[in-house]
Structure formats: C-alpha cells, structure tokens
Structure 1
C-alpha cells in the first residue's frame, strides 16, 4: 500500500491511503474527483493515479498546466515511495508508510529539494533514450520534441548570423523565443560592463500593451541567476522556497518563471527572463533546456560583437587621430573631414542606409582627402588663383588617396568611394567622368557634404560663404554636379546640423 502526503497551498497537510477502493484516484478542480483541488491553475480533470499488477501509475489527463513527477513534466509514469508529485501549488509526497506530521518533510519542500539537487541540465542534442526503456508513445513524443529543438536552434543560428547591431539582434532573438515558448512576458537584459547592473534591452508582453507597462521583474530571481550562473525554473514562485522571502516575487505575484544567464567564457553577459503573473506550471523542463541552449548561442554572438565593436572603436579613434595630425599641416582645413562625416551620417539616417554601409560611409568621409598628403604644401596653402597645371595636380588627390587605402586590405571596400567623391552627377567630374547611378551612392553623399563644408569654411584664397549662399549654390548644382535627391535630403537635415556640432561622428553610428 502507498500513502500520499498532500499539501495544498497553506492548508494543513493530510494523508491519503491508496486502498483498492480508491482506484482510479482522479485529481482535479471538479468536486466529483476523489481528490478535488480548488485552484484555477488545476484542470477540471487534471490527472489520475491507477493500479495495475501491484504497480502504481500517475497519468496526466491532457491538463492545461501539466503534471510533474520529481520536477519533470510527465504524461504517464510509474510512481514509487519517495517520489514527489507537483500539480499547480499542490505538493504530494509518495510514502511506503505514513509518518507523523512532525517527522515528515513537507511535500513542497521535498519537491523543491529535488529540483535543487538536480539542477536543469544544459540541452544535449546528442543525448538519446534507450528504446527498450520507453514505450512507443513516449518515444514518438521525445522524437517530436527533439525535432522541434533542432528546428528552433537552427532558426536561432539564422537570427544570430550576420547582424552587427546588437539591439536588432536581440529584438529578433526575443521574437523567436516568444514564438516557441509559451511565456506571457519576456525580457532580455545585458549587464553594464562597468557596474554589472542588468540593463533591459528588449521586452515583450502579452498581458498588457508594452507601452503601458513598466519593466518590473523579480530582482531576486535575476540576482540568483547571475550569482550562481545557473538557469532557474520555478513553477510557482509564490510558494517556491528559494524565493519565499523575496518581496519582489510577492509584490509582483510572479507565478511561473524562467531565468537563464547568457554566458560566454564563464562570464555572465546578460539574462533572458520569462514569466507569467497569471498561470502556474506554464514552463516545462524541456523549455528550460531549450532556452539554455539558445542563451549559449546568444552569448557567443554577443561576445564576438562586443569584441568587434571594441576593435572597431579603437580603429576609428586611430583614424581620427591620423586625420587630425594631417589637418595640423593646414589650419584652414582643420576639422573638415570630421564635419563632412557628420553631415554624411545625418544624410544616411534620412536615406535609411544600413548599419554596415554607415560604417563604410564614415570611414570614406573621414579619409576622402587623405590623398592630399601627396600634394605639395605650397599648392594646398596657395592664397592666389591656381594655374590649370596646378589644378590638375590638386585633382590627383582622389586617385592618390585610393592608392594609399588600397594597400590596407581591411579597408579595400572604401577604395572606390574615395576615388569617386569628386565625380559629377552629369559626368563632368574627375577622375573617371562617370555619371548618375554609376557613381557609388556613398561617393555622391560625400560630394554634397564636402561641397557644403568647403563653401562654409575659410580657405586661403577666400572667406567662407554665408549659409544662405551655400544653400543657393547647392540648389543651382542639383541635377548637374550633385545628385538632386540627395541634395533635397541634405537641405532637410541642415536645421539639425547646429544641434549635433559637438558630437563626434563615431557616436552617431549604431552601437550596442
């Protein structure tokens, strides 16, 4: 004979003996069940315990929130003394003989201790079950779950591939998570690299409109996941002993919750947090394993993106230092490349240029005049009018700059952008005389920004023009020397230029 020690919420525990006349022992919310449970998270006919040839079995009756045996969601499984059953907030300890209430551990404590002693394993797609150990229905169920897991991880690879913008990457990643795991709310946090505090990057909520909700999650659960570097699954956080003293769990009325750390090289980079304040037992062990595997993939991608961003920032700072050193030769052109790059990035925002192309635009704009290092100072700083031969020498600087950049393998993509920044829309420019869409769009953007800054800056041979005069000249050259569509866009953003003069152009690029 088996005995069930039952604890429902805060009610006093009771013991039920499994005699022959008890079977089948139905469990559910309806009072017609032999073990009725008054809880909205319990289905009307939730589960049943049966007896066959001296063995006892627990079977889920297609319930909404599932039936759990020793922390694992089951469809049907054999039960033995020492097992712990969880149905919503009900803990049921299976005993071979009744013990006094004083010497018995609470079924809830027993169930929780089992979960803690056997922390969720990281998903292992190579792990298989022996066919002789499970029946055909369970084998088919396991195979289906494995196929779904493989499909989701394949999608995760696709989401994480070739996305440099971490914010966009995490947005797409959260969409995939919410598609395959039945969470009501979801958040992705990244830890601030200076303070270590979690910063919310993405949130999703099916319970309320996102714009109407604050980002309120259990700090206790987040802190536990970070400090222990462990994935957390709580089927009912309100009665989970790990969080029983947490004011945030109580005040937020968190029911089901999962929190998985995003780890790379044994360092916590962030957290994926899913929960529901409505429904208990929403997540399964398989959900936790799948989310943990997805977090591993995200961790590698985020770490690589951050390393790349750090190197890119160092590179940009080096480029800016080089440009400042070159501009120190000629006080009249000091700051020219920086201003041109600012104008170009403003234009790119309006045109909807991709993040990758913005970086190319920034580099090409900063280095568009690098070829002038090969032009004699006497010509660059000449106060009088230049002769035709001298102008021909000045016009060699795009080709000289392209030749210099071509020797740097990593910067090879911006070579044509520098080479063609003095081409004219009508084909009368230099060095190749190409026209219209034959000119790279980035070169056409630089041409307009370069022209405007040249007109509104002091030069050795003339004083700067007024803004109104420069605008008039841009309009006159629109459609001939300059791309008319980009001129129109630039005129739209001119009002924004004064508000961003103090910003470094590299700050205007999309960053994580």
Structure 2
C-alpha cells in the first residue's frame, strides 16, 4: 500500500494510490518487499518481474526499488522510476539506499512513538474503567460501565454482556450497546442454551473470535445483524461460580480482530469480572444486613401483631405512591426499606405501652415518640442503609412543622418520609386497633384530604388519591 507518491502515471485516469497497490511477492516492489534486497531493472517493459499497471501506457521505463529494512524485517520499499532505458547508475542506487536507511529509522521511531502513545491511552482507559467500577455495587451498573468502555478501547460500537443463571445454566442478556432498535427486543428475549455455553465458554478462559464463516451459520434471527461480521467473545469469571461473556461485534464486514483487540478485550473482561465479584459479595452482605434488620422487625411483630401487616402493606403502598411521584430505581428501593422499617424503633418501647388498648397518656406519648430516633440509631452501623435513616427519623414529621422529633416543615422533610407519613395514616385509619374499629376507605380518604397542607404534603395526598382511585394501592 503506497503512503507517498510524486510524479505522474502517464494517461492513467483513476486514483494513483489505487493503481500502485501491490501484493507482497508481486511485481518489482512486491518482490523487493519479499526478499528485502534492492532490485534494478533497466527496462521494466521487458522485465518478467515487473507488473504492468492497467490503464497506463506500455513504455520503456527504468525502475529502481530499495527495501526499507529494520532489524531484518522489511517494512516497505522506496521506488524510483524514469522514462527511458537504463536511466539510473550505481551512485543513484547508493544514494537511494542511504536515504532508505535514514527513512526506515524515522518510520520505526514514529511507529514506536505511536505504539507507546496508543499503549498509554489504552492503559489509562483501562485504569479509568477499573477506578470507575471500584465502588459500584450494582451488577447491572457494572455491566453498563464496562460496555461503555468498549467503543473507546476496541473501536467497536456494538457490544453485549451475558450472565449465566446459576440454577438453569442459561445465559441471559445483562446489557447491550449500539444495536438498532429493531434488534433490541430480540436481544432482550434471547437466551444462550447451557449446551452452547459449555462448548464455547466453560472450557475456555481467553478471548476468542468467531470468524465470519461460523457467524454465517447462525440463524438470522439470532445473529442480530444485517450483514456477516466477525464476533469477539471474552469470557468473564468471578468467585465463587460466576460466569458471563462480553460479546463485541466487528465494525464492518471487512475489519478483522487483531491480537491487540483480544488483549484489550481480556483486560476489559478481567476488570469487569473483578467488579462483578465485588458486586455479588456486596449483594450478599446487603442481604445479610436486611436479614438482620428483618429479624429485629420479627421481634417487633412478636410485640405487636398489627405491626407485621402494617409494615408490609405500608411498603407496598409507599412504592406505588413513590412511582406515581416519579421515583425509580434505587430511590424506590430506599423508599421500600424506609417504609418497611419505619417502626423498627418500637423494639425499644415496652410491650405494655405498644399493646395498650386505650389512647396513650402525654408521658407515654413522649416515650412512644422516641421510636423514630431509636429506629435511626438501630440502622446507624449498617453502611448501605444510611439513606434509609432520615426516612425513619422523619416519618412522623408534619407538613406544618408540628411533628416530631425535629419539628421539620414542608420540603425540609424528606419526600420519602412524607410519602410514608400519608400511607401510615391511611393504613392506621383503615385497620382495626385495640381501642377502635377500622374506618371505611372513603372516610379515610376524606380525612387525608382534610389534613392536606397541615399534617400532610398536599402533593403526596393528591398522588395517593389518584393511585387509590385507579385501584393500584395494593394494601394487601
């Protein structure tokens, strides 16, 4: 492939560089590239080694070609041509060889500099990916961050991540990037069977490439491409038995994956595997923490039979109202935990007071009101439950500032606490208590509306009424 040209090709009308492309071993330049030795022909028209460029005149031409060799490796050639027979002498050859020796050193230095710069760029990108995943505890987020690194590192815009289900052995899509909308639904519903996974993944640790002739045998509905391209697969493994794969699609039919692509894919897969292992351990730790707090909740339920149904119903209602108000993802998860554990502090209140069949005295009410502070303190040692603590502490604050324990008002009260407060009041009003019977739902709704703007956030009450009227409250 020519990288520079000066002169003319007679009457040739097409692109000059296209005309000069020559395979190694073909023509004079290809012969020099193959042998690494200088070649001079006094008349290329009569030389069997020379190749005629289609579209050019058949004329007498002298041709001198010198190899660009570096450490016994030929990286290219320099060619001089001149119309006429025997136009170059030994001095011309010596000068061209000296020029070539200087040029090849410059080329090699430039290549090394470019390689070093590219290596530094990719190393920095891998380092940034590793840093970015250090504190990510969500498996889906780990996969999305890793997928976003693929275009920068591999130059490929289409990629997928698959995770094995430990029970069924099937691989399910964990995330994807760069696929046309018409393929996305098919992606979400596809499953890689255990038998296929066993053949390609269970026995392999290093990334590998599915060549185009193999990809062509995959049914079109599973290939998810309009054409046939190479596919790179990088296995991912994490303790104790996690298994997944990163799948990267070549940018075009003509582009093949190189050893450099495989090394970079291995780097991405290894970093992702480590992050997935950390996320799994965090998830297990999180479940252990939740189990501990639920054990406390169970102890509370033993004190007050009402509390069990109340907390779980309150969590369901709060999730519905939170979604109505635009909360999603981690926000809804935090709200659910806040609602589930909002009364956990009652574990520090005497059973007699909790079960008292009559309204509490002022002194008893003061003691009871401390349960929000106690609940917040119970969760203090649990790292991942820190966002839940303010919800519990403020779950009995009032919109007008007359609540407890901090007399917060309006939007100074966390939104999640305002949601829990409304749901808590509704469920309490519509449940039987030792000292009174349940109110009808219509009356409970009327009282919520009446207290909107004083006890309750008006926006939360409106959202509650909308969800209730649609029948989406899910109190049971």
Superposition map of 1:323-362 within 5 A: 323-353=297-327, 355-362=329-336
C-alpha distance in structure 2 between counterparts of 1:462 and 1:175, whole Å: 58
Superposition map of 1:349-498 within 5 A: 349-353=323-327, 355-406=329-380, 414-494=388-468
Q: 1:259 to 1:476 in 2, by over 3 A?
A: same
Match status 1:49 vs 2:30: yes
Contact 1:423 1:431 in 2 (8 A): yes
SS at match of 1:233: strand
C-alpha distance in structure 1 between counterparts of 2:259 and 2:475, whole Å: 54
C-alpha distance in structure 1 between counterparts of 2:163 and 2:267, whole Å: 17
Q: Deviations over 1:182-239 (max 9, x none)?
A: 43632110111222321112223456744465577998688423421221034x331x
C-alpha distance in structure 1 between counterparts of 2:254 and 2:131, whole Å: 32
C-alpha distance in structure 2 between counterparts of 1:403 and 1:266, whole Å: 34
Contact 1:343 1:497 in 2 (8 A): no
Pair member with larger Rg = 2
Aligned-residue offset at 1:330: 2.4
Aligned-residue offset at 1:415: 4.0
Q: Select 2:200's aligned residue among 210, 218, 224.
A: 224
Q: Deviations over 1:304-348 (max 9, x none)?
A: 111111221233234334323321332233311122222223333
C-alpha distance in structure 1 between counterparts of 2:107 and 2:197, whole Å: 35
Which is helix-richer, 1 or 2? 2
Contact 1:184 1:207 in 2 (8 A): no
Which residue is equivalent to 1:177?
A: 150
SS at match of 1:259: strand
Which residue is equivalent to 1:264?
A: 238
Which residue is equivalent to 1:313?
A: 287
C-alpha distance in structure 1 between counterparts of 2:383 and 2:23, whole Å: 74
SS at match of 1:188: strand
Which residue is equivalent to 1:125?
A: none
Superposition map of 1:149-188 within 5 A: 149-157=122-130, 159-183=132-156, 185-188=158-161
**205-214 or 385-394, which moves further after superposition?**
205-214
Match status 1:237 vs 2:207: no
Q: Deviations over 1:20-76 (max 9, x none)?
A: xxxxxxxxx98997669xxxxxxxx9xx7351695279xxxxxxxxxxxxxxxxxx9
Q: Deviations over 1:239-294 (max 9, x none)?
A: xxxx59x9438995743121101123585521011224950433222222112111
How many pairs does the alignment contain? 392
C-alpha distance in structure 2 between counterparts of 1:262 and 1:499, whole Å: 42
C-alpha distance in structure 1 between counterparts of 2:385 and 2:157, whole Å: 46
Which residue is equivalent to 1:293?
A: 267
Q: 1:205 to 1:435 in 2, by over 3 A?
A: closer
C-alpha distance in structure 1 between counterparts of 2:121 and 2:383, whole Å: 43
Contact 2:122 2:153 in 1 (8 A): no
Match status 1:275 vs 2:249: yes
Aligned-residue offset at 1:450: 1.2
Q: Deviations over 1:449-504 (max 9, x none)?
A: 211211121111112222222222222222211122222333333367757567xx
Aligned-residue offset at 1:162: 3.8
C-alpha distance in structure 1 between counterparts of 2:128 and 2:275, whole Å: 14
State the structure with bigger RCO (CA 8 A, min sep 6), 1 or 2: 1
Which residue is equivalent to 2:172?
A: 199
Contact 2:147 2:159 in 1 (8 A): yes
For structure 2, list consecutive stretches of 5 or more residues without a partner in the other structure: 1-16, 39-67, 74-104
| TM, length-normalised to structure 1 | 0.65
**141-150 or 407-416, which moves further after superposition?**
407-416
Which is strand-richer, 1 or 2? 1
For structure 1, list consecutive stretches of 5 or more residues without a partner in the other structure: 1-28, 37-44, 58-75, 82-131, 503-512
Contact 1:260 1:271 in 2 (8 A): yes
User: What RMSD in Å do the two structures reach over aligned CA positions?
Assistant: 4.1
